[in-house]
């Protein structure tokens, strides 16, 4: 049995492993957090605590899912707001968690409507023995424009509220960024200027996931109406990775401490976030599908990956992929790679032929009698769409050639199959 040290240091705090519950319905009270700790999670970001006089009044129903063909669950729409429990109850839960689980990390997520709120909440969660503070500047379904993602898109407010939190507490603090913005860098830099020690990103993406075709109402339906709210799950992972990459590649942010969030469901997802610059990893939607025990799969897979890569410390993996992501204009455009078909695997379904004919460059011919495709290299541009649509993996990357008039040795071009495979 492989046993690797998964501990990490993040903002000066020691985590036994990088996996945390993100601030969400999955850690809404003491009992839920305790169950997660018992299951092996390294920390929790307790569901966002609001001011004493802010009343949460939820809708019902408030969830929807996004599916594709036979895949049951690629996205999850959530209309839930911050913690509905009274402030005193939430603070009591924080104290109880630290008392009963002193070696686990309790992060207090807070959200105010003004500087006074933020400062007071920071003071209160510090007195409740939280290890760290996360400022929720990004929830997309708040009923007040003074809270959530409307704040997170305003660098001036971000800086002001971060400064207020630092006045109220000396705990390490991370600002949770909204993805509902074109460029996250200005808001992230504003948070650091205000005193934030690191960044948590991303929160959910504003969305309408589905529309009931008969009732003509988006889902979920609440007394005949619906609203735009946050999308999470596997579908937002590419968006999360994009923002993390842009943050860590921005001038002055190359070593930015990041707690990565957004579609982490497997150990492979976890590794991708780490390689692009995340030190800790926050999870919600995967827990809503599989329960707290999913952390065991993620920890086990991460340890096997470390063993395969001859890595003893997770910190040695953080950000290794950042340097390999470059602006589009810097990509090598001097060569192309043809697809190759494995006739022993091909089942003659015709998916590659139809996709290339109707969606690419008409570079695959079809033998009706033998039910076999053939690549016409005179027309093929090497886009590899056929590779991706093949249902049985019968197509892979083949011969590499230089484009006419270009110099270089194509054999030295590093190319991987478009189909991502993990050992």
Q: Which residues are catalytic?
A: 139
Contact 61, 76 (CB under 8 A): no
| CA 348/CA 368 separation, integer angstroms | 10
Closest CA to 15 of 302, 276, 259: 259
| CA 258/CA 188 separation, integer angstroms | 11
Closest CA to 73 of 201, 178, 209: 209
Retrieve residue 354's tokens: 């139809």
Write out the H or E segment, with its range, that includes residue 127. Answer: helix 115-127
| CA 323/CA 280 separation, integer angstroms | 20
Sign of CA dihedral 308, 243, 167, 112: negative
CA 18 to chain CA centroid, nearest Å: 14
| CA 275/CA 266 separation, integer angstroms | 15
Contact 97, 30 (CB under 8 A): yes
Retrieve residue 227's tokens: 């609203």
Provide the H-helix boundaries in 128-236.
149-152, 155-168, 185-193
What contacts 182, CB < 8 A, 6 or more positions away? none
Residue 28 sits at the vertex; the CA angle it makes with 27 and 31, to the nearest 5 degrees, is 75
CA 107 to chain CA centroid, nearest Å: 18
| CA 161/CA 175 separation, integer angstroms | 10
CA 304 to chain CA centroid, nearest Å: 22
Helices 115-127, 155-168: axis angle to 10 degrees equals 40
């Amino acid at each position: 049995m492989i046993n690797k040290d998964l501990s990490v240091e993040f903002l000066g705090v020691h985590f036994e492993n990088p996996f945390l519950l993100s601030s969400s319905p999955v850690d809404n009270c003491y009992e839920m957090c305790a169950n997660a700790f018992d299951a092996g999670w390294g920390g929790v970001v307790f569901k966002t605590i609001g001011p004493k006089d802010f009343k949460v009044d939820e809708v019902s129903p408030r969830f929807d899912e996004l599916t594709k063909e036979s895949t049951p669950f690629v996205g999850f729409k959530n209309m839930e707001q911050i913690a509905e429990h009274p402030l005193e109850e939430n603070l009591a839960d924080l104290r109880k968690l630290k008392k009963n689980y002193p070696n686990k990390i309790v992060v207090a997520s807070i959200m105010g409507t003004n500087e006074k709120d933020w400062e007071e909440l920071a003071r209160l969660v510090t007195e409740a023995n939280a290890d760290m503070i996360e400022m929720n500047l990004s929830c997309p379904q708040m009923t007040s424009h003074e809270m959530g993602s409307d704040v997170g898109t305003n660098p001036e407010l971000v800086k002001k509220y971060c400064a207020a939190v630092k006045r109220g507490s000396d705990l390490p603090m991370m600002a949770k960024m909204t993805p509902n913005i074109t460029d996250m860098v200005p808001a992230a830099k504003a948070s650091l200027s205000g005193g934030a020690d690191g960044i948590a990103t991303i929160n959910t993406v504003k969305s309408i996931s589905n529309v009931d075709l008969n009732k003509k109402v988006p889902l979920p339906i609440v007394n005949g109406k619906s609203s735009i709210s946050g999308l999470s799950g596997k579908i937002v992972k590419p968006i999360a990775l994009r923002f993390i990459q842009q943050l860590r590649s921005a001038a002055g942010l190359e070593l930015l401490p990041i707690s990565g969030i957004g579609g982490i469901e497997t150990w492979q997802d976890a590794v991708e976030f780490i390689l692009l610059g995340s030190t800790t990893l926050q999870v919600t939607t995967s827990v809503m599908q599989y329960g707290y025990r999913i952390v065991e799969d993620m920890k086990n897979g991460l340890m096997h990956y470390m063993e395969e890569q001859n890595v003893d410390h997770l910190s040695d993996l953080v950000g290794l992929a950042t340097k390999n992501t470059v602006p589009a204009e810097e990509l090598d455009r001097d060569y192309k790679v043809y697809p190759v078909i494995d006739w022993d695997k091909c089942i003659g379904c015709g998916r590659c032929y139809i996709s290339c004919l109707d969606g690419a460059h008409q570079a695959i011919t079809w033998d009706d009698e033998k039910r076999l495709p053939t690549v016409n290299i005179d027309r093929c541009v090497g886009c590899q769409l056929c590779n991706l649509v093949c249902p049985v993996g019968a197509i892979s990357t083949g011969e590499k050639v230089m484009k006419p008039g270009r110099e270089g040795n194509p054999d030295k071009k590093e190319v991987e199959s478009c189909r991502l495979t993990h050992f």
